Amino acid sequence: MGEPIGVAVVGLNVGKAHLWAYQQLPERFRVVAVCDIDEGRAGRAAERNPGSVALTELAQICARDDIEVVNLCTPPGLHLDHIAQVLEAGKHVVCEKPLVGSLAAVDEVERLEASSGRRVMPIFQYRWGRGLQRVKHLVEAGVAGSLNTSSVEVAWRRRAEYYSVPWRGTWAGELGGVLTSHAIHAIDMLTYVVGPAERVFARTTTRVNPIETEDCAAASLQMADGSLATLVATLGSPEEITRHRFNFTHLSAESGTAAYESSGEPWTVTPDSPEALAAIEDAMEHFAPGHEGYVGQFDRFADSLRSGDDPPVTVADARAALEMLTALYVSSREGVEVMLPLPPDHPAYRGWTPT
Ligand SMILES: NC(=O)c1ccc[n+]([C@@H]2O[C@H](COP(=O)([O-])OP(=O)(O)OC[C@H]3O[C@@H](n4cnc5c(N)ncnc54)[C@H](O)[C@@H]3O)[C@@H](O)[C@H]2O)c1
């Protein structure tokens, strides 16, 4: 398997969850450094990760030659600069969502990645839930049939306290609201199974908290495969749930509703006939689920670094989600249906934010 890969985690709020995930894979990764401009946070994280050093500047991370992967968990508005700095230093990047704030920026990341010879892996950790992986496996095995409709619900709760962190709720800092920051995972799960959308119509509004960005959204999508999908997302639901449902000709598949674990089991897969059931059972004999969540993504990333294959989530995957966001915001703002893909001369190519 080779020596563990030296990794540094930068930004230590959600970054703590990344550190926990690396600790679950000691044969694959070694946390060499933790970094936060908040010295106290960095120090506490280093104590919980024996063998790591606490640093306060990304430049110090970039200067070290015992770090192969820099894992960015900094606020979204900083991602593009930080990715460029890390690639320039000759290291691989793992970066939290949203990767960057426009199609122009994600295309820039793609160019920087290609010229650096290093890899950029955006985070979409919900992909690796065992329930979603089971459905993906059945689709890829060809036993699901064609898709008729899908529905996606993201009903979470964010209160005033959440917005005490200054960048949240602002277009400049968070780059968007419930669509960009929260439903982006559910959107990725939809397109991971179904593929891209072809045309979208969306409405967004701000009703839950007094913030700049949207906290409620509803959208109607026609996917490129001809199927239809709905998406509804809010940060104002007292009961928090996430739910996906896919209605194929040979089976329907519905997730559980655990808000932050809905991609994991239990999912309910209902065959349309005894023949469909037999095909599902055959296909499941070849199902080999891996780790879930961040652990699952990092484990697959280690495989890809060693083999030279693409990372389990690519910049193109992040681009697909950002293109969907761009289309949804344009549709909502202009009250029109928007066709995808969006060309580079589209007015929103350089960003979906209103400023
Ligand atoms: N995948 C998920 O489920 C998930 C969940 C939460 C947050 N996120 C994403 O993770 C990122 C961070 O979110 P958060 O909630 O942890 O933010 P946060 O603001 O709570 O924490 C960010 C940390 O980064 C530090 N920081 C800021 N600038 C820095 C710099 N230049 N160098 C080093 N450290 C710096 C801050 O001091 C802070 O400790 C965002 O992109 C967010 O959307 C993803």
pTM: 0.97
- Which domains are seen in the chain, by residue range? 5-125 (3.40.50.720), 126-294 (3.30.360.10)
CB atoms within 10 A of CB 254: 19
Grade residue 1 by pLDDT with cuts at 50, 70 and 90. Answer: low
12 CA from centroid of ligand 1 (Å): 7
74 CA from centroid of ligand 1 (Å): 4
Residue-wise pLDDT for 189-218, tens only, equals 999 999 999 999 999 999 999 999 999 999
pLDDT tops 70 at residue 26: yes
Residue-wise pLDDT for 258-313, tens only, equals 999 999 999 999 999 999 999 999 999 999 999 999 999 999 999 999 999 999 99
The whole-number pLDDT of residue 2 equals 84
Pocket test for ligand 1, best of 14, 78, 171, 185 (most atoms within 8 A of CB): 14
Calculate mean pLDDT across residues 233-247. Answer: 98
**Residue owning the nearest CA to atom 30 of ligand 1:** 37
The whole-number pLDDT of residue 29 equals 98
Calculate mean pLDDT across residues 35-55. Answer: 98
pLDDT tops 80 at residue 43: yes
Residue-wise pLDDT for 133-173, tens only, equals 999 999 999 999 999 999 999 999 999 999 999 999 999 99
Pocket, ligand 1, Cβ cutoff 6 A? 10-14, 35-38, 41, 58, 73-76, 78, 96-97, 123, 125, 165, 181
CB atoms within 10 A of CB 311: 21
Single-letter residue type at 33:
A
Phi/psi zone of residue 195: left (φ > 0), alpha (ψ -120 to 50 degrees), beta?
left
**Residue owning the nearest CA to atom 33 of ligand 1:** 36
Pocket test for ligand 1, best of 20, 96, 189, 295 (most atoms within 8 A of CB): 96
Full 3-state SS string of 70-137: EEECCCHHHHHHHHHHHHHCCCEEEECCCCCCCHHHHHHHHHHHHHHCCCEEECCHHHHCHHHHHHHH
User: Is residue 276 within 8 Å of residue 143, measured between CB atoms?
Assistant: yes
Task: Give the atom of ligand 1 at the shortest distance from the alpha carbon of 123.
Answer: 1
Residue-wise pLDDT for 170-186, tens only, equals 999 999 999 999 999 99
